[in-house]
Structures are given as structure tokens and as C-alpha cells.
Amino acid sequence: MGEAAVAEKSGSINPASRAVGLNGVTIAFTVANGTYNAVEQASLSVADGEFVSIVGPTGCGKSTLLNAAAGLIAPAAGSVDVFGRTLTGLNHDAGYLFQSDALFPWKTAIDNVAIGLEIAGVDTAEAKRRAQEWLTRVGLGNFANRYPHMLSGGQRKRVGLAQVLIRDPKILLMDEPFGPLDAQTRQIMGNLLLDLWSADKKAVLFVTHDLEEAIALSDRVVIMSAGPASHIIGDWKVPIARPRDISEVKLEKGFHELHREIWNMLKAEVLKGYAQSGA
């Protein structure tokens, strides 16, 4: 597998069952001396119900690509399609879990979760009831009336997950959501995510810099090249059976082999990234 697989993969998914498609997406930023292409000609398909991770060196534009899928950034060239329709404006089929804190600090945990329903017109009592259910589901049933600053980093991520999932989006976009957490909490959150995901198999696009996490969670792992003008250079299927337990998946046959194979490619990009940023 490798570069050849990219082209083959993008074409192989039937457009109708394709949740998100990035077609030759280029994203440019205006900088002091002209424009800078963060992402150039990136193509990727995520099938409905498929869990895909994007891994790449820091600063390669993974988050930028995710923002394009969310409709938060419009591509300079290429297009994004969602369930067969070309995306213009925000992607309303998607829920987005951000890397940094995105909860409303002036709302309690339950209000943070309920807000997605309230703005959609669900009445307050019903929204709160369902929010309480979701808080229980993510293990925070007794923390409904806490404000975000009274919760730990991991608990805030749980609230964030509930906030996004209560709207039942068909697509879940995640930008290094567990990045700021410690190793144990990450594993626990990973297992929680897989539990919730397996219940109704949404399409997931998960950005991370942690290859082990990517393999443990995903159906497919794609690798981005170092920026600028980064694009997708590798695409691997993860042949590990589900359900998985994050803390044990590393012992599975095939995990190490796959990890070594992907890491060989990723390492070169990581080094390239360091060389360019002068670090």
C-alpha cells in the first residue's frame, strides 16, 4: 500500500454511501508576502459509518483539512461533498469536537449539553432530560450542575462529546480531541468514544498526531505529508477486529506490523517538518 492506494481508495467508495469527500482540496492563507497553501490537492473519502484517522507531523494542516470538511474554511480550489451534495457554508450534518476548550464557560454541564437541542427548537424541559441522559452516558450523571472550570480536562471532554452527540450528527469531526489529556485518560476516553460510536456507527474523521491512537481507534489511517502544500500520501486499512479495547489492542497481532509500516513513511515526513520549521 502507499501512494497507489490513495487514488484507488478515493475512487472505490460509491458516492452515494460516501459521507464526506474531499476532492483535490487546496486551502490558502494570506500571509505578509502573498498566499501560503497550507493544504494542496488533498483528496479523501470517508464512507458512511467508517472511522478514519488523519495522522501527520505537527503543522501539516490536518486541522485545516478538518475545518474544510466542517465548512468553517472554504477551499481555494477543489470541493467538499457531504452525502453526495457539494458543501457550501457550514456542514450541518457534522458535529465537531475541538482540540481546545469549546464549552460555554457560563453554562453548567447540563446546559452546555442541552444547548444544541434548545437552539433547534426542542423545549427546555425535554432538552434537559435528554442532556441528563447523555451526561449519564458519558459518566457524568452527577456533575450536571458543575460549570466547566469545576471539571477536570477529561470531564470537560466528556461534556464536549455529549454536547456534540446529543444532536445526533451523521458525521463526527474530531480535532485531536484527547490531545491535552494524560495517557490514562486518553485511553479511557478512546474506549468511551468507541463504545458510543459502535452504538450507531457514524462516519468519523479523527485528526491526531498519535499514530498508536489512530490505529487503535480507526478503520482506516491516512497520512499527510509535511506542510506547506501538504496532501495525503498514504492510506492504510486497519485489519484489527472490533470491538476493541484501546489498552489491549496494542498486543494484537498485526498492530506492530502496521505501526512499523506506517511509521516508516510518517517518520520521513516528521523529519521534513522539523527541517522546514527550523526546530
Partner 1 sequence: MSRITLLTLQVLVAVVAIAIWHFATTVPVFGRLLLPPFFFSNPFDVAERIYKWFYTGSVWRHLWITLAESTLAFVIGSLGGALVGFWFARRPIVAAVFDPYVKMMNALPRVVLAPIFALWLGLGIWSKVALGFTLVFFVVFFNVYQGVKEVSPTILANARMLGMNERQLMRNVYWPSALSWMFSSLHTSVGFAVVGAVVGEYLGSAAGLGYLIQQAEGVFDVAGVFAGMFVLSAFVIVIDVLVSMVERRLLVWRPTVGEARA
Which residues make up the interface to partner 1 (CB under 8 A)?
70, 72, 90, 92, 94-96, 98, 100-108, 115-116, 119-120, 147-149, 163-164, 167
Based on CB atoms, which residue is closest to partner 1, 79 or 99? 99
Based on CB atoms, which residue is closest to partner 1, 1 or 72? 72
Based on CB atoms, which residue is closest to partner 1, 93 or 261? 93
Cα-based torsion angle of the residue sequence 250, 251, 253, 259 in order, rounded to the nearest 10 degrees: 30
Closest distance to partner 1 from the beta carbon of 148 (Å) = 8
Residues 6+ apart with CB under 8 A from 16: 84
Based on CB atoms, which residue is closest to partner 1, 35 or 104? 104
Closest distance to partner 1 from the beta carbon of 98 (Å) = 5
The DSSP-derived string for 210-267 is: -HHHHHHH-SEEEEEPPSSSB-EEEEEE----SS--HHHHTTSTTHHHHHHHHHHHHH
Decide: 236 and 255 in contact? Cβ < 8 Å.
Answer: no
Closest distance to partner 1 from the beta carbon of 88 (Å) = 15
Rounded Cα distance between 173 and 69, Å, is 8
| CA-based nearest residue to 43, from 10, 83, 16, 77 | 10
Rounded Cα distance between 36 and 179, Å, is 26
Cis peptide before 15 (omega within 30 of 0): no
Closest distance to partner 1 from the beta carbon of 23 (Å) = 22
Based on CB atoms, which residue is closest to partner 1, 9 or 170? 170
Closest distance to partner 1 from the beta carbon of 105 (Å) = 6
